[in-house]
Each structure stands twice: as C-alpha cells, then as structure tokens.
Structure 1
C-alpha cells in the first residue's frame, strides 16, 4: 500500500570488522525516527514487538477539505507524524507502520497548563488550540520509549507500552491549572462522519472506561478502553461537538456541565483538571480491547498493574532484545543502525488483536476465542507476502504460523468465504490486487511450518481463487486473462492471480493433492496470455483477444497496472523466470531488458503533480519504492550473468537505505521494504514465496548469525568484504562449493555455515 514512485531507506555503508557478540545490547541501534521524514510513513513512538498499542505523537490534524473533497495532504500523515512539523497535537494509541493509507490514531491524549483549550488549533496558529511547539533537540525515540518536551507548557512527555497498554508519564511545572485532554474525535485521516458513536463512563475519580466506534478505512470498527490516572483529578468536564438538528432546521453544538458520570455522543472531547507541584509526575495508563470495557480493565491488570514506568519500559525493551538477537551481525555503528532499525520496522506489523483471555472480535462481528494460537490483524498482504512473511518463516516460525491461523479464522468468519486481502481490526479493506494470503499460507506449508490443518487451508485457498465474483476472477478462469474493458488493472491482476495459482499448486503438490495441482499449475501459466511479443511487454488485452492499440509502457495506475507500469510488470513472473526469459527472446535479450530498467530514466511527464507521487526510490525506471520490483535484480540468477544481480544489489543498498530521518524515502509498507533490506544484506532473497528456494545476491555484512528457534544457528561469513568487492567469486556451504546460485530453506533451518568470498571483479 503505497504510491508508485516512492522508496524507503537509502545508504548502507560498508560494514566494519568489529565482532558483534550475542550478548550485545542491540536496542541501542534501533532508531524509530528513521523514515519519519518524507514518505516513510513510520511513527517514532513506543510499541513492543507486534503490539496492539502503538503510542506515538501526532504532529497535525489533517482531514478532508471543508467542501468534503479529498485533501492530498492527507497522504503525508498516514502515520500521524511528519519530521518537518513544528508542533505536536497529542499522543494517540493506534498507528499503521509505513502504509499508504490513513486511519487509526485513536484516543488522543494531550497534557496542558494554563487556560483550558479543547480545540487542537492549526499549525499556522498553534496558540489557537492545545497543540504545542517542540524541538527535535528535546526528542528521544527508542524501541518502546518516546520522550519529548512540550515547549508551550514546559511539560516533559514520556511514553512506553506493553502489548495492550499505553503508559504515559508527564512531568509538569508548578500549576493550579494543569489539564489532561482526552480527544475522542481525533484520528488520522479524519473525514466527515468517521465517528459513529463514543461512550465514556466514570468508575471513580481516577478511572474511566469507554469505547469509540468509527467508520473509516475499517468501516465498522469499535475499540474499547480503560483509562487510569496515578492521582485523582480534582474536576473533569467535556464538550460535545455533535451537530444536532433542532426546531426550525438549525444546527448547533450541544454541551453539558462539568463533573458528569458518563457521556455518549458522536463528537466528544473531555478534560481532567489537576494541581501540580514543580516536577510532579502524573502518569496514566490506557488499555485497549477489541471486545469490551471489562476486557480492557483485565488487560491493564494483567500487563501493567503498577506505576513503575521504568520497569515497563525495560521489560518492553527486553522483548525487543529477544527479537533483534534472532540475527546478530558484524558491522559498524552505522551498519547496525540500518540493520536493527529494519529489524524493528519488520516486527511492528502484523499486530496482535486479542485480549489476554484470548477473546477478539471476528470479521462476523461476533466475539471469538483464539484456541491454540495468537490472533493477529493488520495484514498488508500485497506487500508483505514477498519478503516479510518468508523472513518470519526463518526467524519467527511459530508467530508466522499463528498469523496463518488468523487468516484461516478470517476465512471462516467471512461472508464471502475468502481469505484476507488487506484486513485490519475485524474488517476487510479489499485493497490492492491478488489474493496473496495464499502465498503466505503456501510458503508456510511448503517450508514445513504448518502446525494447522494444511488440507483445510488448501481448500480455503482454492475457494478464494475460485471466487468468480471477485475482481475479475470469473473472466480470468474462463478466458485465461482479465479483459482490459473489465478492469483498470487487468494485466497486473492477471499476473498476480497466475502467481497465486502457482502457490496453490505447490501447496497441493506438497500435500499430495494431484487434482488440485494439475488445475492450478495450468492456470499459473496464464501470465503468458497478457504478454505481447510484438510490443515486448505485458500488454492490456481486449475481450476479442487483440491487444490495446493505445498503449504506453510507462503509464501506471488504471492503465492495466497497479502501482507499476508495463516496463516493471513485464518482469513480474516470480514463479517462472525460465518461462519469462524464453518468451522474451532468450538470455541475451532478457538481460538487455533488465539492464535498461536501470539505465532508462523515466520521463518527467509521468510524475503526477501531487505530493504523494515523487521521484523518491527510483533508479532509472526501476522503482525500488514499490514492491512489484523487489525481486527483479535477482532474476539475473536465471541467466548466464548472475554477477549483474550482485552488482545492482550493492548499488541499490547505499542509494536506498540510510540511518537518517529521511532514510525511508517511501512507504515501509508494514515492514516489506525493511524485510527486503534484511534479506539482501544477508546475501539471499525469496524471489517466489511458495518455493523453498532462495536466490543468491551479494551480502553487505561481514558476518551474520541467524539464531533459529530450533536451537541451531546458520552463520554467514563474508571474506574480502569491501565497498568495491561486490562480486561473489566463490560460495561454500558447510565447507563444500555451492553449485549454482540458490540455497534451500532446509539449508538454513538445518543450521550450518555459508561462506562468501568476494572480489572486485566478476567472473
């Protein structure tokens, strides 16, 4: 989920020779501020691995224009925070990491002193509202810890989390007019009628519970909360901003007096008053639940019963240490910052979506209880099937299996009887093309990571692939392609369906289901039906079998392709590189084509004049900032010039990744961009998830130790590493020469050692 011409991270320096021991503190190398400038769309706040709470600052309130039309500025605020902004509006509890769509930002909290303000104000007139100026000089962003000084109020704000609880600590100046505002109207990408209903009930003078129902990108979403303060408030109140039709057809605000026992309405902001001494800390904990207020209270009691902020911070950072130590690299300070921030970004999503008692809201809006697995949400599958889930199959197989079981639960609860496409918070958002949950499921089954009913999972994949009423699948089944007249993304969808069909075939083969294999291996060749040998490109094809005459291989969305153009999508056949090379005219012509992708500069006219379409992440016509290109450089491994893959990988890494705020120039897409970096810097990549093979690249580390869940280790040693030594002259696997440019999943999971010998000259 991002726009076409976006990229992420940029500049990997050469790794130094300092040995990294497994006892090292790796959290110190994580800098969540990386990617918060421009279009990385990540957030700098606190979260634990895969946590349900992402407690982070918002730096603006952007929504629809006043006339109700789309405001293009919204796209800059998918994560709620932009590094170049000068003010903070408050701190909210839910965020997407690196997506190209805006939502969430629930339950915003803002501490203030002085005259009470209940409007956030605007960036150009900050004094008109409760927002505050801040400086990056007084800002700290770490794994599970965020700190900033709110300059207008002289308040130090600190954040940490558990899986389901956001923990705030505010250090106030001396004041008889200290306030904490709870904005129940706030939200990223706020647009008319997003709030459906809000309810708050007071338990005592320091505890309240409630919920908020919204109609956003997730169309029917209810999130419950429990909020507890470390000291009683001396008074409280609220303002209701509902538009209420009254006699005579007038509309106006409807307000209530302070010190209320409960509130209900659509648009509400509440406040809590305190008297503070100099340096006094007021703490608050907000627990979330997808099920009930009682469950939110239970989540708080189970995960964060006390008020020791430093203890909660340390425990969360220890969770990160455990995850980061799954791959220990040898490198310089800069190298480790790049690598471990990528590891951090890869382990934020998908997010846990269930209470401590195992209950969660399902797609059918009923309450379910996860039995034998942890339920997850936030599945940006068009992105993450490519490298993120394959990475989990290596370093976190149990968690990935739970994610698959979450997808299968989604299938059983779905009225369409379909696996998820892009799901979040018990909603299907139907975003992007393909049905790539089948890729994730097949990859797990083929790689032996399937502690679930694999045959039932295959049946769910087949049912999804045969859903004729969804996004042109009926045409695809009957005609072997989707006609151009029937879809603006007919070509890319045809190609993506063909890949997904191949995944189903591989899964069927593994399970001995020959009839399913025969059907879907044949369908997996449908990509050939949209290749036009005359133009040399994947090409929109009409229902009468002819190719569209008005065709430009550089144009993108709704011209046959989604977030890519014909030049890029012609290389999107990850499951059949040999077949692609053959139809494109053989080895020599194919290599020339891939070379041209990097050397041909995309004409300026193809960049839209909006801020969400930029030249970030582009090298020639190669768009690293969008996922359909991620496997492209590895296709050289199927030719007689694999050294070209090595050369280009080591060219892409320093141009696309760097440890700075603008180090993710394009959407991280819930970790996919970071997963590409992790695999590529280790020296191999899963070109076609659903296969047990990885293509060899050019490692950018001196050494890496992958600590596997089975107790074994897979060690990567790199000899003669250097800025110019980008070519692989020899590979040894467990002391024996590796024949070819591929390793298997079992080679890694069985443990052992792979040694790369690097050179400044290719063979």
Structure 2
C-alpha cells in the first residue's frame, strides 16, 4: 500500500457502499462498559473499528501461574479490566475483547505524581505503588474515547486512538515530581519466573522507541513501539526487576539506571520525569508495529501528525458513527438501542488490523510480508466467530470479510503445517479449541457470493486442512468415521464439528464444480451419526473398538467427550442436517420434548463447579448461552413444526442474557460472537448453518431496521404491532408477498427490498 495522506486513510474503508450518516447520532447509544463485569471480558477503553490499538485501563495484571499452578483469579482479567475493582494499574495498548483466555496488555503506561514508585502496589493498598484509586462517577467510556480521574495522583487521564496509534492526554496538578511510567513487565499473560525481553531506546527528549518480546499464549510475539511526548522530559531512567543478577559485561562501565539512552532487560520498567503547572496537559502518542520501530514511527507520523487530541477523538468517533449507521433501527426504548448499538460496537472490534500503513506485517513464519490489495487481519477466535460474526460480516461488512479470508489464506501459505488458522493472533497459532472452522468462514463467503479471493485456492487450503492426519484426531476420524474417546479428548465434540466443517467444504466444492471433492466431503459430513447412541437418545463418546463409553453422564462436560457443553447441548449440534437429526432422535414430537427440557430443567450444583466460565447468570435451564455450541438451538423448533417456540425462546434469551449494564452479558463476548447473535436475533433471522444461503426466521425485537448494504442497496425490516408481549409472528411479507416458509435467503436480502413481520400476542400454530 502506498503512503497516503491521513484523510484518505480514514476514507478508504467507506468508498464502497458509503452512506450518509443518519440525522440521529448513534454513538450515544454505545456503552463500552457493557460486559466489563463478571464473564463478559470486554474492555472500556478507546479503539477504532477493527483497530490495531486497543488503549484501555487495566485494573490488575496478575500472574498466570504461581509455583507451577494455575491462578484461577487470572480468568477475571482476560481483558485487563473488572468493573467491580477500585483501582487502576495503568493503561495498556493491546487487549482482547470478550475472550476466555488472556494475552496482550502490552506497554502499560501510568502517570503519577509525588515520590517515584515503580512497583504497582496492591489493590488493598494502592498507596504502596503507582496504581491509583478511581470512581466510576469520574469515569467516561465512549466509542473511541475514555476518561477517568486518578484520585491518588489528582490526574485526569483521557484516551483516544486511531488504527495503529494510542493518544493519551494527562492533565496534571502543579508538581515538581510528575512522572509517566512505562512498565514493560506488565501484561495479561504473565508467568512467575518466566521472561519477557524488552528494549527501549531514548532517541531524544520527546521520542522513545523499542520493542517487547513475550512468550505467553502466543509463544513468539514481538511488538515494536514508538512513543512521543508533547513536552520534553527533564530526566528519565529505568530499573530491571529480574530476580537474577544480570551479567552486565562491559555495559557495567555505565550507570544504566538513569539518563542512559539504551535500556534492555527481562523485567524492565522505565520512567520519564516532568515538572508541571496546575492544569497542565502532557500528551503522548504511542504507535505499535509488528515489523519494526521504524514501522511504528511511520504509523505514528502518518496517522496523527499533530497534537490535537480533540481532533483525533472526533475523527475516531466519526469512524464509529459511519459503521453504526450501516444499520439504523427503531426500538421501543433507549435501553434496546443501547443493547443493539453496543453489540454492533463489540462486533466491529475484532478481528483487528495487523499491518503497518505501508502494508507490512509479520507473518506466521516470523518473516516480514506485505499485504497486496487487502488489509491483513489477526485475532481469529474462529471456534466462536464462525457461527454468527463472520456471517454478519458477509451481510454488512463483505469487503472486510473477504480481506479476513485473504488473511487466513496468507496464514496458510506461511504455515509449515499447511493448515488454515484455528485460533491465531499476532503471527502465532495458538491451536485453541477444536474444529477447523476457517473452512466455515471461507465456505460461507463463497456460497454467499463474497469471494473477493481465489475461491479454488481457498478450497484447496480447506481440503488440505481437513485431511491433515497429524492434527487433533483427524487421522482416526478419516479412518473410523469418528474420533475415538480413548485416543483423543473432547471426542464427540470434535466428531460433530469436523462433520459440520466437512459439509461446508462439500458446499463450496459443489459451488465450484469440484465434484470429486464434493463427494468425499459430503460423505464425511454424515459422520455425526457415528456418535449417536439411539438406546439413550444422546450423542455419546465411542471407543476405538466401536463400543460406546460405559461410564457416561449426560449432564457432565469434562471427561465425557465434550468441550464447553454436555450431551444435552451437543446432541443438538448437527446444524448442517437439522431435519435428519430430528428424525434420528425419534421424530418431531420427541425432539420438541427434548428441546423443551433443555430450557426448563434445573442443573445440579456439580455442573457449575466443573468449569470457571459458567455461572447461574449465564444459563436458562441447561441452555448455556455463553457457550457457543448452543447458539443455534432456539431456532431448531422451526424444523419440528413449532416455530412459535423458536419465537418465544429467542425473545426470552434476548431479554435474559443482554442488558445495558456492566454485567450485561451472560458470558464471554468471544470477539463479537455473543454480540452478533444479538444483532441477528434482534433483526428476526439467524444463520443456523453458515455455508448455507439460508437464515432461519425468528422473532424480531426491533420495531424497524434499515440495512445499508455495500452494493448500494438497502434492506428494510418492519415489525408491525411490536411489543414485549407480541413476540409471535402472525405472518411475514417479503416485498409485499406472503413468505410461506421459515427462512429467508442471503441473496434476497442483498437484492434489497423489505421484509414485514406482523406480530401478535398468541402463537400461530399452523404449518407455514
């Protein structure tokens, strides 16, 4: 990508299908604080749509393992911030949104006054370190902007961001001892006695560069930075907190702790000192790069060539306003709009940009590559996001989604395993969770006509991934038609998810007229039948000898062949063949009884003791909304001739699992998947089987919506007689004609037009 001026950089994403903002400002409905309490694991700080920088406060940074044992408290801080905490440690520049695993938290910055303290201190005694108490009364969290008063230092901190640059503005009191601390030890995936390596170079009295290498969830992650101050510091220094004496060699000739321009170490903290007047603002711009300090400096100079904080905040929020305006809704109350537009905000955070302004990025092979004619993205939580987030992008962000697929294909090209990403970020594959769900994302794009990439090459990559005998039981799966439980954990879940992914490959192959591949994978897609035990009516782990596991509990998760679900949930996971699954489970009447029981049963206490990420807040009966295998389940009534139950279940989930407060998410947002479920379901339809053109009909909770499509057309949704009581669909009109089916096609939406739901208080119990 050629070097371009800043206004053009901001305009580029909107040249295709750009729309004029609505008269009403939608950004006021975004509440980034939603999901920052309990399990939501979102962060309240500043970022732009799909931005590389996520500049946000951390209320604690804990050690992941202590004496070789997992620290359960670390789970709370996957995003660095918990709403119930009373202190802030500092502001770091990279964060995951809504994940169930921690990493990132790079380059923590904290402004302080008084005697210099380089230890963060403890939450119960913030005065023992540089952290500070704060109050939510003095905290503002908006899309693209964050503000908080640091009570212990009497400093007002304000944050905003562009794609690759975080912009800090600190208003200090009068002090002869004002400091800005750069803590290079701090992070969100720290191990006791395990090292990071950091380097800092003081270029002059306002510019600092360096890098940070970490060995955490991503085992080879390097992030470079360039930071610059609006005011020169008068002195600076550092301290290395390594528990072992560092051999200094000839470097011992220098006093490296103070005013020495090169700092390096495993446990390094730097500080920069200022003298400030009352109300004086010190601003700091902090750019990151995966390539080099030179790349970080170029990012900084290109994206924020000035010191106007308010200008950057305005531009950041204008970017959000444009994205939010892609769907304009009318709802009964402000709370519904806050839920909807915060869901859009969270959906548009990940995946994140992963390249410099010139297109350079670090690849999976740890070499530097250049993205040609596409934006390279990272943070692919695919086990979560293939279900609704990427289908939502195919509907409302197709160009970005095509670029995301290109990023996956670049990952494949750079992979020594020749595999598409499973869960990847920052030029690393984490191998987290199961399945090979990149193929679902790719197939969904191809089937829906959004293949802004080489579709045949993509199919070849999908096939190579699905035939990879060295990966997670695939060899046994190909030989036996299932993953044997005595050879591989989570065997039932893997069998079912592999079978779905195989169906996706078959659909793509058929679309591309690659019939030999189609025949191979459509046959493999039937493997779900091999782990169904008809004698008990549930999916069940099977052993290598072909027998079912004898010690088996349909309510337990761990050790029973499942992951993030139990036999009740996963017995319903055949999204590619819902009608056949229902028949296999005894027919529609028996299936509805099973599905009703899922929502109404009471779980034993042992269920909640099994896993850290399930609480009673996040479930309805045995339906666990925070665990994605169940996200399609409420829509399955449509295939059992009782769509009114889909309608009432969907509206119940919307009300119970989402509300506009810090604890407003019933589980991890998982990089936008929970939010994408909310958006689709609020609009009245949902992609039960990505890789199909069909969306299952539900019950819209909005009064109306207008989708601004990238092809320049609009698709309108109207829900007549909408209310909390009128949850049942009486009839549906598509462009004025009766829609006598329980699905709508993607192509019908993309053609533009209008769907009208006539709502009522009583269910319509007749075949459509």
Deviation at 1:610, TM superposition (A): 6.9
| In 1: Cα distance, 2:614 partner to 2:740 partner | 43
Residue 255 (structure 1) shift: 7.8
- Identify the residue that residue 675 of structure 1 maps to in structure 2: 676
* Residue number in structure 2 paired with 1:281: 281
- Residue matched to 2:188: 188
1-structure distance, mates of 2:396, 2:613: 34
Counterpart residue number, 1:728: 729
Task: Tell me the equivalent position of 2:390.
Answer: 389
Q: Deviations over 1:203-227 (max 9, x none)?
A: 1101010000000101000000001
| Structure 2 SS opposite 1:524 | helix
Partner SS for 1:716: strand
Deviation at 1:197, TM superposition (A): 1.4
**Alpha-carbon separation, structure 1, partners of 2:382 and 2:64:** 27
Shift of 1:609: 7.0
Aligned to 1:474: 475
Q: In 2, Cα distance between the equivalents of 1:40 and 1:407?
A: 27
1:672-721 residue CA offsets vs partner (Å, 9 max, x unmatched): 00000000000000000000000000000000000001110000011011
Q: Distance in 2 between matches of 1:352 and 1:516?
A: 33
Instruction: Report the counterpart of residue 234 of structure 2 in structure 1.
Output: 234
Q: Counterpart of 1:171 in 2: which secondary structure? A: strand
Q: Which residue of 2 aligns with 1:171?
A: 171
How many residue pairs get aligned? The number is 738
Q: Which residue of 2 aligns with 1:324?
A: 324
Which residue is equivalent to 2:716?
A: 715
Q: Which structure 2 segments of 5+ residues have no match?
A: 1-19, 248-253
**2:304 matched residue in structure 1:** 304
Q: Give the Cα separation in 1 of the matches to 2:514 and 2:246.
A: 66
User: Hey, what's the Cα distance between the residues in 2 that align with 1:257 and 1:456?
Assistant: 54
C-alpha distance in structure 2 between counterparts of 1:264 and 1:63, whole Å: 22
Structure 1 match to 2:348: 347
In the alignment, what sits opposite 1:503? 504
Q: How many Å apart are 1:759 and its aligned residue?
A: 0.9
Distance (Å, rounded) in 2 between the aligned partners of 1:211 and 1:245: 22
CA contact (8 A) 1:239 1:255 kept: no
RMSD: 1.3
Q: Distance in 1 between matches of 2:761 and 2:427?
A: 52
Determine the structure 1 residue equivalent to 2:5: none
**Helix, strand or coil: the match of 1:525?**
helix
Aligned partner of 1:220 in structure 2 is 220
- 1:138 paired residue number: 138
Offset of residue 604 of structure 1: 1.2
**Alignment-derived partner of residue 76 in structure 2:** 76
SS of residue paired to 1:218: coil
2:169 match: secondary structure: strand
Q: What is the 5 A alignment of 1:38-57?
A: 38-57=38-57
Contact 1:49-1:319 at 8 Å conserved across structures: yes
Distance in 2, Cα, partners of 1:201 & 1:279 = 30
Match for residue 17 of structure 1? none
Kept after mapping to 2: 8 A contact 1:346/1:675: yes
Do the aligned residues in 2 keep the contact of 1:72 with 1:612 (CA within 8 Å)?
Answer: no
Cα deviation for residue 625 of structure 1 reads 1.0
Structure-1 residue corresponding to 2:742: 741
> What TM-score do you get using the length of structure 2 for normalisation?
0.95
1:158 CA drift (Å): 0.2
Structure 1 residue 256, shift from structure 2 partner: 3.2
Tell me the CA shift for residue 189 of structure 1: 2.7
Greater relative contact order: 1 or 2 (C-alpha under 8 angstroms, separation 6 or more)? Answer: 1
Matched, 1:662 2:663: yes
* Compared CA separation, residues 622 and 95, structure 1 to 2 (3 A): same
In the alignment, what sits opposite 1:529?
A: 530
The structure-2 alpha-carbon separation of the partners of 1:83 and 1:375, relative to structure 1 and needing over 3 Å to count, comes to: same
Structure 2 counterpart of 1:10: none
Residue pair 1:488, 1:557 contacting (<8 A) in 2 also: no
Aligned to 1:628: 629
Give 1:483-562 correspondences, 5 Å limit: 483-562=484-563
Contact 2:180–2:271 (CA<8 Å) still a contact in 1? yes
Give the corresponding residue for 1:290. Answer: 290
Residue 12 (structure 2) aligns with: none
Contact 1:346–1:670 at 8 Å: present in 2 too?
A: yes
Residues 113 and 179 in structure 1, CA contact (< 8 A), matched pair in contact too? yes
Match of 1:250 in 2: none
Partner Cα separation in structure 2 for residue 124 and residue 67 of structure 1? 23
1:414-493 aligned within 5 A: 414-493=415-494
Contact map agreement 2:102 2:189 (CA 8 A) in 1: yes
**C-alpha deviation, 1:283, in angstroms:** 0.3
User: Structure 1, residues 43-80: CA drift from partner, whole Å, max 9, x if none?
Assistant: 00000000000000010121145423211000000000
Contact preservation (8 Å) 1:76, 1:612? no
CA separation of 1:246 and 1:465: change in aligned 2, threshold 3 A: closer
**CA–CA distance in 1 between the matches of 2:255 and 2:111?**
22
Give the conservation status (yes or no) of the 8 Å contact 2:21–2:321: no
Query: Structure 1 residues 191, 550: closer, same or farther in 2, change over 3 A?
Result: same
Task: Normalising by structure 1, report the TM-score.
Answer: 0.95
What is the CA–CA distance in structure 1 between the aligned matches of 2:490 and 2:696, rounded to whole Å? 29
**Aligned-pair CA distance for 1:558:** 3.4
Measured after TM superposition, the shift of residue 433 of structure 1 is 0.5
CA distance in 1, matches of 2:246, 2:76: 38
